[in-house]
Structure 1
Amino acid sequence: MILVTGATGTVGREVVRLLSAGPGPLRGVRVMTRDPARVPGDCRTAETVAADYRDPVSLAPALAGVRTAFLVTTGVGGDDDALFLRAARAAGVRRVVKLSAAAVLDPGADDAITRWQRATEELLRGSGMEWTLLRPRSFMSNTLSWAASVRSERVVRTLYGSSANACVDPRDVAEVAVRALTEDRHAGRTYTLTGPSAISAVEQTAQLGRTLGVPLRLEELTRDQARAAWARRCPAAVVEALLTSADRQRAGAKARVDDTVRTLTGRAAGSFEAWARDHREAFGAFPAREAFGAFPAQDLDAGPGVPVGPRTDSGPPAGGRG
């Protein structure tokens, strides 16, 4: 039995979708969530169980009979990992595949989120169970935080828009996760996962505009504006971590490309252009008469950035921030 946590999230949902790719109901896979009603429809062929990391009584039945677990936690500074790993070991779980982040490898990253991620990795290594660590860079899907302003104003607002990040398609992260969950060769391995190239928000804005067929404009945010935007959704320690992460990206700490996706899957990592094309509907439909070619190219350019929203380069805390 494989247990998938975080099935309502960016990567967990894709993990369940890939595991359920065959015909008929999904067998041998269990989805753990606090609220089964939030499990996406395309994941409901799997067995679903209601459980909470902080409720050991609920964890016991969720982990019963589980051999391998996919672990996603988001409570920065909390003890969700410790509680889950304790229950998993007691239940006889053999291996845990954990979603972490590439930032843990950077000695210059010492923010609250990265310190927490390093600590949770150490908990897993010392758990007595087999482990695999997935360390993605920023998720391409973080740009969905731009969707509202793209639809309403055709504007992307961001901090340090010319800084580059080797962001990764969450579907690639999920494919690697499924391999780690279903193959025996991944125990004790750590995988840094990036896209095929480093790309800036300026370049993402241009590519997204071409995909949508409309001119998009990028507005540069000040640090104070970015801080205020994040503060509406995140605790103060997380906000400062996001700003520090953005500074590291501006300094070039997140531009390195790793070929791990190709090594493990046999194909190149997906590009942002392909991701944007597959998710264009999320950004809204625009009249055909507003075709991109009718506007000057410079309308797409503006300046530097990290997307404003809860799933930015440093979020979600469980992965995709690197």
Structure 2
Amino acid sequence: MAILVTGATGTVGRHVVDGLLRARQQVRALTRDPATAALPSEVEVHQGEIGRIDTVHTALAGVDRMYLFPVLDGLDEFIDVAVQAGVRRIVVLSSDSSVNVVLPTNREAGEHHLAVERAVEASGVEWTHLRPGAFAGNAIDWAPSIQAERVVRAPYAAGAQSVIHSADIADVATIALLEDGHAGAKYRLTGPEAITRAEQVRVIAKVLGTDIRFEEITAAQWRDSVRAYMPEVAMDMLLGYWAHAVDNPDPVYPTVTEVTGRPARTFADWAADNVASFR
């Protein structure tokens, strides 16, 4: 039987694909544009979208397990078709916002991910929810200014985040897909330490072997710098989270170690893995 990976070209999905291939599994990927997917040749790539049910039947044929990227549009019908096709286990990429409702600015994201979780739970299959916090990969947003000026301009330098490497999320996902004992689990996933945004920049500088200046700007200045490509609701969510993390560092959970049997990757590990993006 095959395992279907939705969102297979995403930052977590690619690692899930790699992990399943290392485990010698038959991997099928659902993506909008197979021509640009750049997935390993062993992967059976299907063009399709969760929200377009007419495009997914072939991809689901002969699938018994699935990694689910959290798309809500058309999800109920997609899950119905998946179950009819024989899917019996779904691992959901959710978010810590589904349970961390301290911040009003996180409410919309939390409701979205909770709705995805509930749709899967109602299907009657085995399910596991992965609830990561902030991704280490969000630091990629700093790459253009680091490349051009060796500077990062951002608000809330002292916000301490327990950022997680996407490969760790994928490792937990792969284990939950392949091994028994994870049905009904709601895994809160973090990196191994809470590290401030300013310290993240220092880590990147060390990996690059160069100086990088962190220039703290106001929330309003940051809004102006990203307004051309970022929705207002996303700005509100990020700013609320970063501001909260100044006096309330992110919690650190041992889940990655408990599930995988090894320490979670550090931010320095992530920076080393992605150093080419900052050169």
Q: TM-score, normalised to structure 1's length?
A: 0.81
2:188 counterpart of 1:192:
yes
Q: How far apart, in 1, do the equivalents of 2:143 and 2:182 lie? A: 36
Q: Hey, what does 1:260 align to over in structure 2?
A: 255
Q: Helix, strand or coil for the counterpart of 1:97?
A: strand
Deviations 1:120-156 (A, max 9, x none): 2122222222110001111111111111111110011
Q: 1:149-160 residue pairs with structure 2 within 5 A?
A: 149-160=145-156
Is 1:102 paired with 2:96? yes
Maintained 8 Å contact 2:70/2:116: no
Partner of 1:35: 33
Q: Is the 8 A contact 2:91 2:129 kept in 1?
A: yes
1:67 correspondence with 2:68:
no
Cα deviation for residue 237 of structure 1 reads 2.7
Query: 2-side partners of 1:224 and 1:115: how far apart?
Result: 26
Deviations 1:277-299 (A, max 9, x none): 22212111xxxxxxxxxxxxxxx
1:139 is matched with which residue?
135
**C-alpha contact (below 8 Å) 2:53/2:74 kept by paired residues:** no
Amino acid at match of 2:61: A
CA distance in 2, matches of 1:204, 1:121: 31
Inter-partner Cα distance in structure 2 for 1:68 and 1:143: 32
| Candidates 268, 273, 276, aligned match of 1:278 | 273
Which amino acid in 2 is paired with 1:182? L
Return the offset for 1:27: 5.2
Contact 2:126 2:183 in 1 (8 A): yes
- Give, in angstroms, the shift of residue 172 of structure 1: 0.8
Show the counterpart of 1:88: 82
What letter is aligned with 1:106?
A: N
CA distance in 2, matches of 1:95, 1:234: 35
Superimposed CA distance per residue, residues 20-72 of structure 1 (whole angstroms, 9 cap, x where no aligned partner)? 226xxx6521011011012124x332111111112111111111111010011
Cα 1:115–1:109 change in 2 (3 A) is farther
State how far apart, in whole Å, the 2-side matches of 1:234 and 1:44 are: 34
Q: Deviations over 1:78-116 (max 9, x none)?
A: 524334323222322101101011122223134321221
Counterpart contact for 1:8–1:38, Cα < 8 Å: no
In 2, distance between residues paired with 1:238 and 1:150? 23
The answer to whether 1:213 aligns with 2:214 is: no
1:240 paired with 2:236, answer: yes
Secondary structure, aligned partner of 1:67:
strand
Q: What do you get for the CA RMSD once the two structures are aligned?
A: 1.7
The one-letter code sitting in structure 2 at the alignment partner of 1:176 is V
> 1:15 maps to what in 2?
16
* Cα distance in 1 between the residues matched to 2:75 and 2:183: 19
Alignment size in residue pairs = 276
Tell me what 1:313 maps to.
none
Cα deviation for residue 234 of structure 1 reads 2.8
Rounded Cα–Cα distance in structure 2 between residues aligned with 1:168 and 1:235: 24
Query: Once the two structures are aligned, what percentage of the paired residues are identical?
Result: 38
Counterparts of 1:150 and 1:119, CA distance in 2: 38
Give me the whole-angstrom Cα distance separating, in 2, the residues matched to 1:91 and 1:251. Answer: 49
Pairing 1:227–2:228 present: no
Match of 1:6 in 2: 7
Distance in 2 between residues matched to 1:226 and 1:16, nearest whole Å: 35
Counterpart contact for 1:27–1:46, Cα < 8 Å: no
Q: Which runs of 5+ in 2 are unaligned?
A: none
Letter paired with 1:116? H
User: Does the CA contact (< 8 Å) of 2:130 and 2:187 recur in 1?
Assistant: yes
Contact map agreement 2:89 2:125 (CA 8 A) in 1? yes
Structure 1: gaps (5+ residues) = 285-322
Distance 1:251 1:126, change over 3 A: farther
